Amino acid sequence: MGLLGTVVAYSEEVYPLVKLKLAADRIRRQIPAEPHWAFSYSMLQKVSRSFALVIQQLGPQLRNAVCVFYLVLRALDTVEDDTSIPSDIKVPILQNFYRHIYDREWHFSCGTKDYKVLMDKLHLVSIAFLELDRSYQKAIEDITKRMGAGMAKFICKEVETTDDYDEYCHYVAGLVGLGLSKLFHASGSEELAPDNLSNSMGLFLQKTNIIRDYLEDINEIPKSRMFWPRQIWSKYANKLEDFKYVENSTKAVQCLNDLVTNALIHAEDCLQYMSALKDLSIFRFAAIPQIMAIGTLALCYNNVEVFRGVVKMRRGLTAKVIDQTYSMSDVYGAFYEFSSMLKSKIDNSDPNASLTHKRVDAIQKACISSGLLNKRSLHVSGSKFHYVTLLTMVVFLLVAMLIPFLLHK
């Protein structure tokens, strides 16, 4: 589909997309003047543009804490991901990383591209960390310590069983959920969420990423490091890399569907977690990534393209989710629509079809029983093309082009 065809087919996404572009430009112009905060926020935009946008939903103090929290854990993850670092060097760094964040001088060169810059200048993130309120520091230190220990454990251990899979995802993402809940509570805006719900928030996102990133991870240089559990993939192939080859497409997709079905078990916990949030800014910060996750799972399910390239949501739909997610009715609506999309793709000959149906039905039942589906403003399905939408689109495109010109006059 060409550009014009895409615009016509998804005309309702153009306005949010232009708003997102303007918001991104505004964020770049609002980077703080202090060198350590300037580095932290500019680096956040480079290592995760989507997170840099979502974090803007938060108030200033909590936003600073979450920014530092994200960068510290991203740095920790960079050490773990760098397969060129020998284990006898990597493991002690992971285990002691929570101490290094208090050191204004410490840094460790590893990673590539923007991640290498982050590691080379990590002392600037440490300076920002040391300016946070002590309650935020304690929460970040605790999660960094626990995550580093968990990552170290899996450096020399393969993900064999589904229990291993859940444990690994807990260390690298479930703890992020726990940490964010601690930061929300420390801000005084939220009650402290139950650990099991916070954990599910992280696992739902992490499992989605692990599923989506199969091809990127299997082709990692100098060596691949995969987290698909052997207990699942060994039912469909002798070697995990076999899924790359066209002749194994049927088994590859069956394994993929098995993993998506495994991830769906966390969706109901995520809905329960989000329904308890009271602060709108925190709610939007938490809800937007979860909607993106259920949407990505719907796209990946029964989709052989996961083994051929990159599968992700359209930028316009992403912009629409960011622009229009404001209430639990929007969340329930998005989860219902995306789960319906996934349900329509279930092949009853798939080995896990009945279990997938059961998981999807449970999600949809939770959405329906909320009584909020008809009150939502966010609709992720396409809508009919309207000339008013086209006119709005043209006006905002012109504004988007003119603003940079006017700012530089």
* Active site (catalytic) residues: 168, 212, 225, 285
DSSP 327: S
Write phi, then psi, for 137 (nearest 5 degrees).
-60, -45
Alpha-carbon Rg of the chain, whole angstroms?
Answer: 22
Q: Which residues, in sequence order, are CB contacts of 340 under 8 Å at separation 6+?
A: 364
| Helix-, strand-, coil-residue percentages of the chain, each rounded to 5 | 75, 0, 25
CA 361 to CA 363: how far, in whole Å? Answer: 5
CA 264 to CA 366: how far, in whole Å? Answer: 13
CA 131 to CA 312: how far, in whole Å? Answer: 37
118 within 8 A of 108, measured Cβ to Cβ = no
Closest listed residue to residue 84, CA positions, set 225, 222, 226 = 222
Task: Indicate if the alpha-carbon torsion angle 233, 239, 241, 245 is positive or negative.
Answer: negative
Closest listed residue to residue 313, CA positions, set 336, 292, 331 = 292
